[in-house]
């Protein structure tokens, strides 16, 4: 955005108001998207933090409706984060199509945050908004610009389709470089992992009775495997009929310790976890009891770690804004 503002300043300084009138809309749209992505990041973090509550209740918790509905509303409007579409699918499976449709279509009491709707709106900015931003750029770059003349021109009907012109190649490249960096890799990673875990957990809850109480949760496997432990009733929970630890729990415990020390973006932690769970699968030893067999759990966890590695590498790369 800094580069876009600099280019706008140059256009204004050289009297190219006509081009500036178009470019400023691109900048406003980008600023709105940045604000929207920041809101979505907060909602994703809230959903991840309250995931045990979401899993334990059939209906959407009232205090989480805004976060969940807003993420659903944003999913088709934020194509730079395709993982949001996966999350929407999982919420569809849990809450039904009616809940999802209400959020997507902004029906009464849908719960979608007004600010998210505003920031993701495709409505063209008005004259005052554009003029205000250009005035700020004028002041920031210490240039001379006739804002009154600009507002007079803007108030006239457009003579062509310039206002519908798509961003120039350079602007599109900047948008692609900027938007994915708004949501922190950790937040995206949390949403992705949530998607995989929610999918297998939900399928098991719907198809088989969970013999272990949902309050009896694996305490030591508290970032990844806890979702399996909660549904499958194994591991460190001490639930009746369980052994203290199985081999997949051990892999999970090692992974939790590793990311706890080195962070969720550490690729080596994820690769070590993949090797560990595949070794368990190859050994043929039972994992996650009969409700969540190892041949179901391991491939799903493996896919989750592949995504984790990809986004860890993305997070560790240096992005220039």
Looking at the structure, tell me whether residues 160 and 200 fall in a common domain: no
- In a shared domain, residues 95 and 11: yes
Query: Is residue 107 domain-shared with residue 13, that is, in the same domain?
Result: yes
Evaluate if residue 178 carries a pLDDT over 70: no
Distance CA 219, CA 221 (A): 6
* Pair 167, 212 in one domain: no
User: Which pTM does this prediction carry?
Assistant: 0.50
Is the pLDDT assigned to residue 237 strictly greater than 90?
no
Same-domain pairing of 249 and 205: yes
219 domain-assigned: yes
Query: For residue 281, what is the domain's CATH number?
Result: 1.20.90
Q: How far is CA 72 from the centre of its chain?
A: 11
Looking at per-residue pLDDT, the higher value among 23 and 210 belongs to 23
Task: Answer yes or no: do 222 and 118 share one domain.
Answer: no
- The 10 Å Cβ neighbour count of residue 184 is 16
Identify the band that residue 201 occupies on the pLDDT scale cut at 50, 70 and 90. Answer: very low
pLDDT tops 80 at residue 204? no
50 to each of 5, 53, 75, 142, 249, how far by Cα in Å? 39, 5, 20, 48, 22
| The most confident of 1-5, 58-62, 122-126, by mean pLDDT | 58-62
Tally of structural domains, the chain:
2
Chain segment 55-104, per-residue pLDDT in tens: 888 899 999 999 999 999 999 988 888 888 888 988 999 999 999 999 99
Residue 13 has pLDDT above 50, yes or no: yes
Q: Write down the catalytic residue from 26, 90, 141, 255.
A: 255
Q: Which domain holds residue 224?
A: 185-316
In a domain, 177, yes or no: no
Sequence-separated (6 or more) residues with CB below 8 Å from residue 130: 21, 24, 25, 28, 154
> What integer pLDDT is reported at residue 66 of this predicted model?
94
In this structure, the answer to whether residues 93 and 225 fall within a common structural domain is no
Contact status, residue 40 vs residue 71, Cβ threshold 8 Å: yes
Say if residue 195 is in the same domain as residue 62.
no
Question: 306 to each of 5, 161, 162, how far by Cα in Å?
Answer: 38, 45, 44
DSSP classification of residue 63: G
255 a catalytic residue: yes
Say what the pLDDT of residue 160 is. 41
Residue 109 falls within a domain, yes or no?
yes
Phi then psi dihedrals of residue 79, to 5 deg: -65, -15
| Domain co-membership, 73 together with 193 | no
Q: Is the pLDDT of residue 216 over 90?
A: no
- Rounded CA-CA distance 82/132 in Å is 33
More confident: 15 or 271? 271
pLDDT at 295: 63
Same domain, 309 and 232: yes
Report CA Rg, the chain.
24
Residue 180, in any domain of the structure: no
- Contact partners, residue 230, CB within 8 Å, separation at least 6: 52, 55, 201, 214, 217, 218
Contact 218, 230 (CB under 8 A): yes
pLDDT band at 152 (very low <50, low <70, confident <90, very high): low
For residues 236 and 273, membership in a common domain is answered with yes
């Amino acid at each position: 955005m800094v580069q876009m503002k600099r280019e706008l300043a140059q256009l204004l300084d050289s009297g190219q108001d006509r081009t500036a009138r178009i470019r400023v809309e691109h900048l406003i749209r980008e600023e709105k998207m940045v604000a929207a992505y920041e809101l979505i990041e907060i909602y994703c973090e809230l959903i991840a933090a309250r995931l045990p509550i979401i899993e334990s209740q059939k209906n959407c918790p009232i205090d989480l409706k805004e976060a969940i509905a807003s993420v659903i509303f944003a999913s088709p409007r934020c194509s730079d984060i395709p993982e949001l579409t996966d999350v929407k699918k999982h919420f569809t499976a849990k809450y039904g199509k009616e809940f999802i449709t209400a959020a997507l279509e902004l029906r009464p009491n849908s719960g979608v945050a007004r600010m998210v709707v505003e920031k993701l709106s495709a409505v063209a900015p008005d004259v005052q908004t554009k003029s205000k931003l250009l005035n700020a750029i004028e002041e920031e770059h210490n240039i001379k610009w006739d804002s009154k003349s600009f507002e007079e021109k803007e108030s006239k009907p457009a003579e062509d389709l310039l206002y519908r012109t798509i961003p120039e190649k350079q602007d599109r490249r900047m948008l692609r470089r900027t938007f994915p960096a708004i949501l922190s890799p950790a937040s995206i990673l949390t949403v992705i992992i949530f998607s995989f875990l929610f999918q297998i957990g939900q399928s098991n809850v719907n198809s088989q009775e969970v013999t272990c109480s949902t309050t009896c949760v694996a305490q030591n496997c508290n970032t990844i495997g806890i979702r399996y432990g909660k549904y499958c009733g194994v591991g460190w929970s001490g639930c009746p009929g369980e052994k203290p630890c199985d081999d997949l729990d051990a892999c999970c415990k090692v992974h939790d310790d590793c990311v706890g020390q080195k962070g969720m973006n550490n690729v080596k932690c994820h690769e070590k976890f993949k090797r560990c769970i595949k070794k368990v699968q190859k050994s043929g030893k039972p994992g996650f009891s009969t409700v969540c067999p190892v041949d179901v759990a391991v491939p799903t966890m493996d896919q989750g770690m592949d995504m984790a590695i990809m986004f860890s590498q993305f997070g560790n790369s240096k992005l220039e804004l």
